[in-house]
Amino acid sequence: MKPAAAVAAFVGAGVVVLLAAAGGGSPMVGVQRVGDRMKGQLGRFFSWAEVTASGAASRLGLDNTPPPEAQAALERLVAVVLDPLRSQLGRPIVVTSGYRSAAVNRAVSGSPTSQHMSGEAVDIKATGLSAEQLAGAIVRTGLPFDQVIWYAPERGGHVHLSYTEKRPNRREVLYAPAAGGYTRSAAS
């Protein structure tokens, strides 16, 4: 689908759709029903649509517009961690979950203290890499992060990546096994 056709399709549907095709690949204009600031690109490789899209929000009709503070946190997360990571990996990164309003977070049974609610976390997958491989690659880049949690395939097979400027980043690496809970990972 040509970009113009894609944009028209999204406008026609009137909903936010995860721009998986953009996926940290070629820059693409995202379209969604939010303020002007959040139209288009958030960073070099990521659009606002990619980090605010929520299947649960669309399904349940919930507003998932980040407030200014969370917008600023998302901009820092992309500028400091996600864009450089995408550059160094040299392969597309798909954001499977980014910002979550409190209502959206409840709808997806997120942790009540989830950094997704402050715009400080994204769940990602990278083409051709397992969650474990992606977690290891993130650690090896030396980029700053607060938490990297790699999930077993049974729990989504994604990597939760967070970054904060409210306090020192913990650089904590955890594994979320199929059986539940979290264990410290040696990858740090």
Q: Is 100 in the site for Zn ion (CB under 5 A)?
A: no
Measure the CA angle with vertex 45, ends 39 and 48; round to 5°.
25
Q: Is 125 in the site for Zn ion (CB under 5 A)?
A: no
Minimum distance from residue 31 beta carbon to Zn ion (Å): 25
By C-beta, is 86 or 125 nearer to Zn ion?
125
Q: Is 160 in the site for Zn ion (CB under 5 A)?
A: yes
If we measure between CA atoms, which residue out of 22, 18, 17 comes closest to residue 3? 22
By C-beta, is 86 or 160 nearer to Zn ion?
160
Minimum distance from residue 66 beta carbon to Zn ion (Å): 15
Amino acid at 132: E
Report how many helices (DSSP H) and strands (DSSP E) the chain contains, helices first: 7, 6
Q: Is 120 in the site for Zn ion (CB under 5 A)?
A: no
- Core vs surface per residue 120-141: b (16+ CB within 10 A) or e: bbbbbbbeebebbebbbbbbee
Which residue minimizes CB distance to Zn ion?
A: 160
Q: Is 123 in the site for Zn ion (CB under 5 A)?
A: yes
By C-beta, is 49 or 149 nearer to Zn ion?
149
If we measure between CA atoms, which residue out of 11, 90, 95 comes closest to residue 3? 11
Distance CA 15, CA 8 (A): 12
Minimum distance from residue 60 beta carbon to Zn ion (Å): 19
Q: Is 146 in the site for Zn ion (CB under 5 A)?
A: no
Minimum distance from residue 90 beta carbon to Zn ion (Å): 24
| Six token digits for residue 97 | 């979950």
Only one of the segments 20-28, 68-76, 100-108, 158-166 lies at the binding site for Zn ion (rule: CB under 5 A); that segment is 158-166
- Contacts with Zn ion by CB under 5 A lie at 123, 160
